[in-house]
Structure 1
Amino acid sequence: MNFSFLRTIGLHALLGVFMYYFRSFGDIYLVLILVYFFRKAANTSANHKPLIFLYGCAYVVSVEVLFRMSGGTIFYEASKYVIILFSLCGIYERGINVKSFAYIFYLFLLIPGVYITLYEVDYGLNVRKAIAFNLSGPYCLGIAAIFTFGLRISKKEMLNLLRHFLYPLISILTYLFVFNPNVSEVVGGTGSNFSTSGGFGPNQVATVLGIAMFIMTIKFFYYSKNNFDKILDLILFVLFSFRAIVTFSRGGVITAILMILSFLFFLFLTTNGKQKRSIAISGLVFVIVGYIIWSISTIQTNGYIENRYANENARGIKKEDISTGRSDLFAFELKEFVENPFFGIGVGRVKQVRFERSGLHVASHNEMSRIIAEHGLLGLIAFSIILIVPLFFHLKHRRNIFFFPFYIFWFLTINHSSMRIAAPAFIYALTLLNYTNENPTLHRQQAIAEE
């Protein structure tokens, strides 16, 4: 039992309630986060400064959605800029791994699209906002990847990283229960539900709650050693899973389930016979708990959640498009790429062009199709880099049992939610960590290092 961990969880649970009643606190909260992590880094040995900034990035990834739910930050993309800042500080402290230069090239490939936008500027388009909104995510990914490339992290340090993800998610959980304590009162159909999502985008809320589901699974199977910790993990898993399901946004929940299955598969492969039996028994417990969660969710949503996952409307009639319109958006963006293959239509213009041609004022939900539509062949090369480099990296660092869950999260999230939040960008960067199941090691590197 870790009393410091419990105290921090309790503090963040209260913070979620506080943020609900004092929503303008977000700006102060963001400043406090910056002060805390910079002060902690200043008081930490040079060997561990990169880890402090890594923890800071994880914390901001989770708190971003809380800020957006409460509407409490000065500007919408503030969290991504903070992650970029922390990543740059981490790069300064540990240097640049020479093998990460692919990501520097990736960042340069995104620049020409800005000039296309400036040249093809549309009436009524806020150019600065459009460019910032659509490039903040990719640049967050690229800079974070340069920071984490080859960064050594031990099993204990990974637990600390996951805890920094978890703390703001606890605040989000309590915020949701205060915002909507009775789910059954606000559910009347099968569409994504803003009332059960804290008044914010169900897709994004479900995505971060899915991260919480994954973290509690890791703690239960991999880190928790006593019954108290395991029971606490299960309770939090139930609460996070329930709130994720009742958002009626399937992407975050399905992604979380696939992450969990991937993690358990590789954990099972790397353990001995006795540990395999323990994992199997715990897995059976999880299946039973999952059935209970689903049953509660079905009751609380008056059965609508079963219709949602069966791709049926409220009357039980099968819907033709399981993607809820995303396939049409994807097809439109591919068409724009075919018509503008070299440099694309310009950063941030896909939404405007779609409105001009179809009357639909809808942003892209797929990062892959967006990047090639807006950046053309340069975007295709850029996406190929971020798709392939982690796979080659993993060939030399196969001990990282977290690699495939993180990679799955990134790939699935950008295909159902694009990069609206920082989570897929930063969690992608975690695939490049050099994970070791050993005691903490030194992290300081030369400015240019081979490994």
Structure 2
Amino acid sequence: MLNKATSYTYTMYQYLALHVLTGIVVSRFRGLAQLYLAALLVYFILQILQKRDKTFWVLAGAGYFASAEVFLRMTGASPFWELAKYVVIFFMLLGMFYEGFKLKAWPVLIFLILLLPGVVVTYLNFDYLDESFRKTILFNLTGPLSLVATALFCYHRPIKMQSLLKLVDVMILPILSMLVYIILYAPPMEQIVFTTESNALASGGYSGNQVATVLGLGMFLTYVRFLIPYRNQLLNLINMGLLGLMTYRCLLTFSRGGFITALAMMFVFSLLFIRWAPLVKKAKATVKLVGLGVGGFLIWGVAMAVTGGLILNRYAGENAKGEEQDITTGRAEIISEELTAFLEEPFLGVGVGMGKFFRYELDGQLAASHNEIARMLAEHGFLGILAILILLLIPLGLLLSRNRNLLMLPFVAFWFLTINHSAMRVALPGFMYGLALLTINYASNKKKKHKTKATAVSRQPTLR
């Protein structure tokens, strides 16, 4: 009989092959993406209902859909725009039905309550006949609501480190399908005209910003499995290949937010890993990081050659002629107008979803917000400030407590950096924030010994 490690290796081979095939098939027959979506829903609901480890399967189902959201959108599989956020909320409610949630999570409920007055303000002032009140509210609140649901379920919920690593593997899979789809659906590189703007053609014909956000997360997830490797060398080689390919394609989107966020997460994770790992693993990690640095320079060199050096201009905040341009690509102006809205309505704000109408009256444009913090200030006023502070203080409290979640700071970094360049247009920021609140059990199954004085004194995880 196969042991658990060998069995998991074969399962990963099967899943990787299946998701490569999914990307290939959907790139040729986009209508089959809806069948893919239906199969996913049925599969994860059945797993949650039938399996004993409901915590893992709830997180796996929600994590898969959060990672697959942009892929489902770009292939036309989603029957409506916010589907993935609703699925995440549904899975978390299902998980809380079976597993409950801790009363210590009351700060999350306060965050939710602070959002409600903004809905009332919108209801009292909404008179735009060409817009739907319901859609206006849901477009802006489904992201925070998915965050609330995930945070309630995950707050202080114990999970084994091995289960968390399996969750990382699950979330990589739909990103792999999207990666294959982008490569096959996009035209050949010689047919793409690169400028210093976000490139939809190199992003599979979709929003470069959202594609880069997902690929950036994929970079980090594969990086986690790079430093905490599989027990199978072929899987490790495949993972390194995926890390390099996701990095390359993320660069070619010419959307900087996802790539910079990935680098920040990788940097924070590296510091924590090297601090907590045993001496032997520190030495191995150092050698790996040197090799990764060399590989990174090679990938950057290829991107420079393919884009005619314009990728450097993009990250330097210059246009194709080398002249300085607005590095925020218009986001700073939107933030300025949102701060103006906050100053006009400092206590309750202008109302949920009303920020774009406020900006329309200022400059005649209906541009949606790219910055969730500025949006919260404009649309929720002082209550929005309190809500943001609560979200910042919750992980800070966990950090100062005895809980040690190796991935907490990288996950919080993803949430914070992503909502500052892409708001909460996808489910990933809220979901990753919730994952940061998990309590990780690092104990090996082989070593369930009684607690010693040394264990009581030191709560730092041992990475084995």
TM-score over 0.5 (shorter chain):
yes
C-alpha distance in 2, partners of 1:186/1:122?
Answer: 44
| Structure 2 residue corresponding to 1:65, chosen from 57, 62, 70 | 70
Unpaired stretches in structure 1, ≥5 consecutive residues: 442-451
C-alpha distance in 1, partners of 2:404/2:115?
Answer: 33
C-alpha distance in 2, partners of 1:181/1:436?
Answer: 46
SS at match of 1:324: coil
State whether residues 397 and 434 of structure 1, in contact with CA within 8 Å, keep that contact through their aligned partners in structure 2.
no
Letter in 2 for 1:113: G
Structure with greater contact order relative to length (CA < 8 Å, sep ≥ 6): 1
Partner residue, 1:396: 401
SS at match of 1:426: helix
Partner residue, 1:277: 283
Superposition deviation, residue 20 in structure 1: 2.2
| Structure 1 residue corresponding to 2:185, chosen from 176, 179, 186 | 179
Check if 1:25 corresponds to 2:32: yes
Residues 121 and 440 (structure 1), Cα distance of their counterparts in 2 relative to 1, 3 Å cut: farther
Superposition deviation, residue 240 in structure 1: 0.5
Check if 1:104 corresponds to 2:109: yes
Letter in 2 for 1:109: L
SS at match of 1:435: strand
Check if 1:438 corresponds to 2:438: no
Partner residue, 1:139: 145
Which deviations, in whole Å up to 9, do the C-alpha atoms of 1:210-257 show, x marking residues without a partner?
111111111111133453233212111111001100000001000001
Letter in 2 for 1:297: A
C-alpha distance in 1, partners of 2:303/2:391?
Answer: 37
State whether residues 371 and 380 of structure 1, in contact with CA within 8 Å, keep that contact through their aligned partners in structure 2.
yes
Check if 1:232 corresponds to 2:238: yes
Identical-pair percentage = 38
Alignment root-mean-square deviation, CA? 1.5
State whether residues 393 and 432 of structure 1, in contact with CA within 8 Å, keep that contact through their aligned partners in structure 2.
yes
SS at match of 1:100: helix
Superposition deviation, residue 328 in structure 1: 1.4
| Structure 2 residue corresponding to 1:41, chosen from 17, 38, 48 | 48
TM-score with structure 1 length normalisation?
A: 0.94
C-alpha distance in 2, partners of 1:377/1:286?
Answer: 45
Superposition deviation, residue 398 in structure 1: 4.3
Check if 1:407 corresponds to 2:412: yes
C-alpha distance in 2, partners of 1:118/1:202?
Answer: 34
Check if 1:214 corresponds to 2:220: yes
Superposition deviation, residue 101 in structure 1: 1.1
State whether residues 367 and 414 of structure 1, in contact with CA within 8 Å, keep that contact through their aligned partners in structure 2.
yes
| Structure 2 residue corresponding to 1:191, chosen from 175, 197, 204 | 197
Partner residue, 1:294: 300
Superposition deviation, residue 397 in structure 1: 4.2
Check if 1:223 corresponds to 2:223: no
| Structure 2 residue corresponding to 1:262, chosen from 264, 268, 271 | 268
C-alpha distance in 2, partners of 1:350/1:413?
Answer: 20
Check if 1:423 corresponds to 2:425: no
State whether residues 184 and 302 of structure 1, in contact with CA within 8 Å, keep that contact through their aligned partners in structure 2.
no
Moved more, 34-43 or 429-438: 34-43
Check if 1:119 corresponds to 2:128: no
Q: Which runs of 4+ in 1 moved over 4 A?
A: none
TM-score with structure 2 length normalisation?
A: 0.92
Check if 1:164 corresponds to 2:204: no
Which deviations, in whole Å up to 9, do the C-alpha atoms of 1:399-445 show, x marking residues without a partner?
2111111011000000010000000010000110001212479xxxx
SS at match of 1:193: coil
C-alpha distance in 2, partners of 1:417/1:397?
Answer: 33
C-alpha distance in 2, partners of 1:213/1:127?
Answer: 38
State whether residues 157 and 440 of structure 1, in contact with CA within 8 Å, keep that contact through their aligned partners in structure 2.
no
Moved more, 191-200 or 326-335: 326-335
Partner residue, 2:57: 52
Check if 1:326 corresponds to 2:338: no
Unpaired stretches in structure 2, ≥5 consecutive residues: 1-5, 447-464
State whether residues 187 and 201 of structure 2, in contact with CA within 8 Å, keep that contact through their aligned partners in structure 1.
no
State whether residues 106 and 382 of structure 1, in contact with CA within 8 Å, keep that contact through their aligned partners in structure 2.
yes
Superposition deviation, residue 303 in structure 1: 1.2
State whether residues 59 and 165 of structure 1, in contact with CA within 8 Å, keep that contact through their aligned partners in structure 2.
yes
Superposition deviation, residue 111 in structure 1: 1.3
Superposition deviation, residue 295 in structure 1: 0.7
Partner residue, 1:7: 14
Residues 117 and 398 (structure 1), Cα distance of their counterparts in 2 relative to 1, 3 Å cut: same
Moved more, 102-111 or 258-267: 102-111
C-alpha distance in 2, partners of 1:36/1:67?
Answer: 16
C-alpha distance in 2, partners of 1:271/1:72?
Answer: 42
Letter in 1 for 2:10: F
